[in-house]
Amino acid sequence: MSSADIYREIILDYYRNPRNYGKIPDPDIAQRDSNPLCGDELEMHLNIKDDKVADVKFTGKGCAISQASASMLTELILGKDFEYVKKLTKEDILDNLGLHDLGPARIKCALLSLKVLKSGLYSYLVDKLHDTASADKIKEESSGLY
């Protein structure tokens, strides 16, 4: 896809004015990751209450695609059922961004946020809910993200 299609107004807006940017003190889920190829960094914080995402924030450094993707993901999951978040797929993220046919190098930027989210869910399921079966499923699903 061409740059003009990638760097649309909405992507640039989320890049320059990220929604839900910041940290949650003492969050239920805190997960950080980076892309070793480019050094982009992303940290997500979530609070889960009554099986819903009660709060979500992110901080990070990186390209417009990775940062817009993270910001739009936080909007997508805020207030949603925990089950919905568990089932999010790669296609959901790309749909949400309106970015398809990204090259192999740049698709990693778009999916970094989902990778961070899934890793966070995994730790939460194992450490706090002791639900290793669901955790393993998430791990398996997210293994193809990179």
| 13-29 exposure pattern, b = at least 16 Cβ within 10 A, e = fewer | ebbeebebeeebeebbb
Interaction between residue 17 and other proteins (CB under 8 A): no
Among 4, 26, 130, 144, binds other proteins (CB under 8 A): 4
Interaction between residue 10 and other proteins (CB under 8 A): no
Interaction between residue 112 and other proteins (CB under 8 A): no
Considering only 63-71, 74-82, 113-121, 128-136, which stretch makes contact with other proteins by CB under 8 A? 63-71
Interaction between residue 133 and other proteins (CB under 8 A): no
Among 22, 39, 104, 144, binds other proteins (CB under 8 A): 39
Interaction between residue 145 and other proteins (CB under 8 A): no
Strand order in the sheet with 52-61: 29-34, 41-49, 52-61
Q: Among residues 6 and 76, whose Cβ is nearest to other proteins?
A: 6
Tell the smallest beta-carbon distance from residue 78 to other proteins (Å): 25
All residues at 6 or more sequence positions from 56 whose CB lies less than 8 Å from its CB, including other chains: 20, 24, 44, 45, 46, 47, 74, 77, 78
Interaction between residue 109 and other proteins (CB under 8 A): yes
DSSP track, 55-110? EEEEEEE--HHHHHHHHHHHHHHTT-BHHHHHH--HHHHHHHHT--S--HHHHHHH
Interaction between residue 61 and other proteins (CB under 8 A): yes
Instruction: Point out which residues bind other proteins (CB under 8 A).
Output: 2-4, 6-7, 12, 15-16, 37-41, 61-65, 106, 109
